[in-house]
A = this chain, B = another copy of it.
Amino acid sequence: MSGSVSPLAPKTFTAMPALRGVRMTTASAGIKYKNRTDVLLMVFDKPAAVAGVFTRSKCPSAPVDFCRKNLAHGSARAVVVNSGNANAFTGLKGRQATELTAKSAAAAVGCSENEVYLASTGVIGEPLDATKFAGVLDTMAKDAVSDFWFEAAKAIMTTDTYPKVATRTAEIGGVKVTINGIAKGAGMIAPDMATMLSFVVTDADISSSALQTLLSEGVGPSFNSMTVDSDTSTSDTLMLFATGAAAADGQAHIDRADDPKLAGFRAALNELLKDLAIQVVRDGEGATKMLEITVTGAESDAAAKRIALSIANSPLVKTAAAGEDANWGRVVMAVGKAGEMADRDKLAIWFGDVRVAVNGERDASYSEEAASNVMKQQDIPVKVDLGLGNGRATVWTCDLTKEYVAINGDYRS
């Protein structure tokens, strides 16, 4: 809200190619403010395969409930995304709003209501007046164009300071396919699911069940490995759609996620998910530094991830990063509190290439100046080796600054 772009923003934005089978446009429905773009409509010309992962919150928003229900049908024709109102904690009114929105979208696109997917961000607890969609969706369905990805990414921003886009290509059985993705979210970001809104579309011809497996596996080392403030939104939504347009180029339909022909696609998808996830962390509210925290030598990968997240979520580690303080004692503290097996006297810690601690004490050859120089970088690699086993994990977070407090002390999000 301060109007300034994160210092960690990309220097240049990726040019996003059009993607066959999907069109988009935005409009102003007046959800919260007049004359502000607040609705994105994504239209699939033919039914697309669909997969989704959602917040693990026990208090999910009405659109999350709605999407979960529709996923069983396995087919998507429209996605409606609005800002200004999260339609979360809105009770019966919330369910009525999702039903009315889906009805309007289905009428506009000419599909069934169970082929519509919804996502809302904004204020929690305010009833969403879905009648406002009725007036704009018809026109939007007609106006939607395929070359709209960057605009779409901009349209779904809230406290984001830059749009998040990513694109990759891969081959399936010798046929080139493309994957495009957009994401938003700069606060209320933590693992335990998708942690924001993100929509990924490919023109590949892949079944919904295979997509779901790819997405569920891909979210672990990407979106579920990043944290801005340890808080989990009620509305986190990550969806993956496949338009199947590449079938026209001879791509044979893929039915199963374990099909060997998916290897390249899976790698490209995972890269794209990681790319988007890191862009979200780099736009963490008030962020001036990104920390890449790698834990090795843990009892298991799961233990490594819990320790890495304990470090990444520690306010004391994050404020030290903000102050460019190579305070490895706080890393020790965060390892100790994670609840996972750790042997103090086997622990080693690095900032960048500088080993600051080894065998449970300060590294004898540790240079405060060298460690401080690492802390002055925008991107700070932190590595912890537990010396116990082969478990490893990498997570990403940003620093905790006064600006984070200012943004969240003032903004009714």
CA distance A359 to B59 in the complex (A): 12
Q: With a CB–CB cut-off of 8 A, which chain B residues contact A188?
A: 316, 333
Which chain A residues (116-134) contact chain B, with CB distance < 8 Å?
123-127
Q: With an 8 A cutoff between CB atoms, is A406 at the interface? A: yes
- In chain A, positions 121-160 with a C-beta closer than 8 Å to chain B are 123-127
- Given A124-B328, A315-B404, A400-B405, 19 additional A-B pairs, CB 8 A: A55-B336, A58-B335, A58-B339, A59-B335, A59-B344, A59-B347, A60-B344, A86-B329, A89-B361, A89-B362, A123-B329, A125-B329, A125-B361, A188-B316, A188-B333, A233-B333, A323-B410, A402-B406, A404-B405
Which one, B229, B361, B406, contacts A93 given CB within 8 A?
A: B361
Inter-chain contact B337/A89, CB cutoff 8 Å? no
Q: Of B55, B57, B232, B342, which contacts A59 at CB under 8 A?
A: B342
Number of residues in A with C-beta < 8 Å to the partner?
73
- CB-CB under 8 A from A406, the residues of chain B are 402
Q: Is the CB of A315 within 8 A of B59?
A: no
Residue A320, interface by CB 8 Å: yes
What is the 8 Å Cβ interface bit string for chain A, positions 192-203, against chain B (1 contact, 0 not)? 100000000000
Q: Which residues of chain A in 226-273 are interfacial with respect to chain B, using CB atoms and an 8 Å cutoff?
A: 229-234
Asked if A88 CB lies within 8 Å of chain B CBs, one says yes
Tell whether A408 pairs with B319 under 8 Å between CB atoms, given A329-B124, A360-B89.
yes
Closest to A235 in B: B333
Does B91 lie within 8 Å of A322, measured CB to CB?
no
Among A300-329, those with CB < 8 Å from B are 313-316, 319-320, 322-323, 325, 327-329
**Given contacts A234-B333, A404-B315, A405-B319, is CB(A341)–CB(B124) below 8 Å?**
no
A86 to B333, CA, bound (A): 12
What's the minimum C-beta distance from A405 to chain B, rounded to whole angstroms? 5
Answer yes or no: A3 CB below 8 A from chain B CBs. Answer: no
Residue of B nearest to A86 (CB): B329
- B360–A91 contact, CB under 8 A? yes
Q: Please name the residue on chain B nearest to A187 by beta carbon.
A: B316
Determine the chain B residues whose CB is within 8 A of the CB of A353 once the complex forms. none
Quote the shortest CB–CB distance from A406 to chain B (angstroms): 7
Docked-complex contact A190 and B337, CB < 8 angstroms: yes
A231 with B344: in contact, given A188-B333, A335-B58 (CB under 8 Å)? no
Contact residues in B for A370 (Cβ distance below 8 Å): none
Name the residue in A190, A314, A343 with the highest tally of chain B Cβ atoms < 10 Å from its Cβ: A314
In Å, the complex CA distance between A187 and B316 comes to 9
Report if A34 contacts B (CB, 8 A): no
List CB contacts (< 8 Å) of A2-61 with chain B: 55-60
- List residues of chain B with CB within 8 A of the CB of A90: 360-362
Q: Is B323 within 8 A of A125, CB to CB?
A: no
> Contacts A319-B404, A322-B405, A405-B401; is A334 near B231 (CB within 8 Å)?
yes
Q: Is the CB of A91 within 8 A of B359?
A: yes
A107 CB–B CB distance under 8 Å: no
Contacting pair B125 A362 (CB below 8 A): yes
Contact of A405 among B58, B124, B329, B402 (CB under 8 A): B402
Q: What are the residues of chain B within 8 A of A322 when measuring CB–CB?
A: 405, 409
Q: Which of B88, B89, B409 contacts A320, CB < 8 Å?
A: B409
A340 on interface, CB distance cutoff 8 Å: yes
Q: A329-B89, A408-B316, A412-B325 are in contact. Are A336 and B126 (CB under 8 A)?
A: no
The contact of A88 among B192, B329, B409, by CB within 8 Å, is B329
Cβ of A67 within 8 Å of any chain B Cβ, yes or no, is no
A345 within 8 A of B: yes
Supply 8 A–B pairs (Cβ within 8 Å), ascending by A.
Answer: A55-B336, A57-B337, A58-B336, A92-B361, A94-B361, A229-B316, A322-B405, A325-B412
Q: State whether B231 touches A315 (Cβ < 8 A).
A: yes
- Do A229 and B60 touch (CB < 8 A)? no
